Amino acid sequence: MDDSILSSSSSPYDLLFQALLLIPIRHYLFALFLIWSVFFYNFLEFHFLGDTILHYFKCRVNLIYNPDSPLYHGVVSRCRILHGRYVATPWLASPHLQTCFLNFNGLPPVFSYSRQLFRASDGGTIALDWLTNSDVLDGSQNEILKEDKTPIAVVIPGLTSDSSSAYLKHLAYNTAKTGWNVVISNHRGLGGVSVTSDRFYNAGWTEDIRVVLGHLQQEYPMAPLFAIGTSIGANVLVKYLGEEGEKTPLRGAVAICSPWDLLIGDRFICRTLKQKLYDKALTIGLQGYAQLHEPQYTRLANWEGIKKSRSIRDFDNHATCIVGKFETVDTYYRKSSSTQYVGNVAVPLLCISALDDPLCTKEAIPWDECRANKNIVLATTNHGGHLAFFEGLTASSLWWVRATNEFLCTLSCSSHMHVQKIQERRSSGSGKEEEPSINQGPYLNITEDGLVAAVNYEETTTMSEEATQVSNQTGPKRKDDVIKRKRSIWLLGYIGVVTGFPLVGMLINYLFRKKQRPTKSKS
């Protein structure tokens, strides 16, 4: 070994540097590429290797439902797609790539809608964009007849999205292709329509979907109505279902990538650098929406604050809370979150969420609430991004669109569709509403065990308590019991009269004597 290398005057770092110079430069480039690839793979949360190696375990759809759920056993159990696996497009095997690709391209089908403008009672204008089954099959835009029985799917878009969004075109085209009529209810001020009132939509605004469904039910009374909500639209849909309960005209519904709890979502989107990038992108979209309606926002909100907003929370503070009259941003998020309404949902509801959703965190999913409600089935996948779920080598289709169509078609052919419960009130000739009365007949008397008896009352007839009990009971055994009870009451009454008669005689005799005494004294 050379003595110059072993010289004590040489520094260890000099020796290390000389050794590193002996390594070829191509090896350094390869190592740098490898390190960058690992960093890039983890930063964008690629899962290509996991899908390839653990295809059987990681790609399975997880279903959450109540063990006694008739929705699952009667409908979802027959859905092959929901019991299968979701495998992402290999070159889009990242939630961030899927989400970005959906918003910048998405490969949507090419078609055109038929527009209908609906005017709400407060003066607001809502653009209803239609795509019917005939539009897809033969390209002819035929008007829907009033007696048409074709199911209608009402779609509620996400934040700042309208009918031109790629994912909504995928949904509308494929749903109409399966034989349905689709109508996208654009939010106020979107879809190229101006804001014509002082009300704007927000994450908890359910009035528009309520009036739109009422309008569709009136215009097409023979067509069953279903609803599909996406992102913020899914939050609005679930909140609406919880508010309406049994009164909604919807037969079934699907919620895709709902944020569920807006307060948790607000904390999540500011947590890391990647989430902050999404926060900034959505804020720019909201500011663009505000610029389209600058005259209204200048008059109703803090326009300078809107222009300087750096996050969704800032925009909500300067715009949404002021227009919607919420005390604070947190108050708006709490009141608008759909989580608190999950327990009141009375309509068959399928909820689909991706656990790697970069916008709507899995931390906000109400697992226990969905499991407790027999009308809800929650389907989660390990991957999918936000509203993306691209599948196939060409990324030409969205998995959640196929799963939604299969669920709705299976539900529409089953007996598990929801039936609207309406409280009817009779009115007199004067037009004044009358309160229901048991003295007006005939009416149905429902007992605790579910038996029903028809009873006819006359206004001039009064019934005793026993007669009322007889009319409420059904079956010969119950009538015999009432008759025996009636006989025993008469027997007790007879005994009371017989035993009490001597006492009554003594009382009359005593009073008669008391009145006769003053007469005798005077004589």
Q: Which residues are identified as catalytic? A: 231, 357, 386
Please choose, from the candidates 153, 259, 264, the residue with its C-alpha nearest in 3D space to the C-alpha of residue 216. Answer: 153
Task: Give yes or no for a contact between 262 and 321, defined as CB atoms under 8 angstroms apart.
Answer: no
Contacts of the segment 451-454: beta carbons below 8 A, 24+ positions apart:
451/475
- DSSP code for 85: B
Count the helix, strand and coil residues of the chain and give each as a percent rounded to the nearest 5. Answer: 50, 15, 40
Under DSSP, is residue 255 helix (H, G, I), strand (E, B) or coil? strand
Which residue type sits at 370?
Answer: C
Q: Is 115 helix (H, G, I), strand (E, B) or coil?
A: strand
Reduce the DSSP state of residue 146 to 3 states and report it.
coil
Distance of CA 14 to the CA centre of its chain: 68
* SS3 readout for 325-347: CCCCHHHHHHHHCCHHHHHHCCC
Kindly report the CA angle at 384 between 383 and 385, in degrees rounded to 5? 110
Q: Got the DSSP string for 151-208? A: -EEEEE--TT--TTSHHHHHHHHHHHHTT-EEEEEPPTT-SS----SS----TT--HH
Compute the CA torsion angle 69, 351, 258, 213 (nearest 10 deg): -90
3-state secondary structure of 224: coil
**Tokens in use for 90?**
């290999």
Q: What is the Cα–Cα distance from 136 to 138, expressed in whole angstroms?
A: 6
Reported as half-sphere exposure (CB side, CA atoms, 13 A), residue 341 has a value of: 25
Burial class (CB in 10 A: 0-12, 13-18, 19+), 397: middle
CA proximity to 315, closest of 339, 299, 332, 336: 332
Which residues, other chains included, contact 504 with Cβ-Cβ below 8 Å and sequence gap of 6+? none
366: left (phi over 0), alpha (psi -120 to 50) or beta: beta
What token pair was written down for 458?
């006359």
Half-sphere exposure of 431 (CA within 13 A, CB side): 0
Angle CA 215–200–400, to nearest 5: 65
**What residue type is assigned to position 372 of the chain?**
A
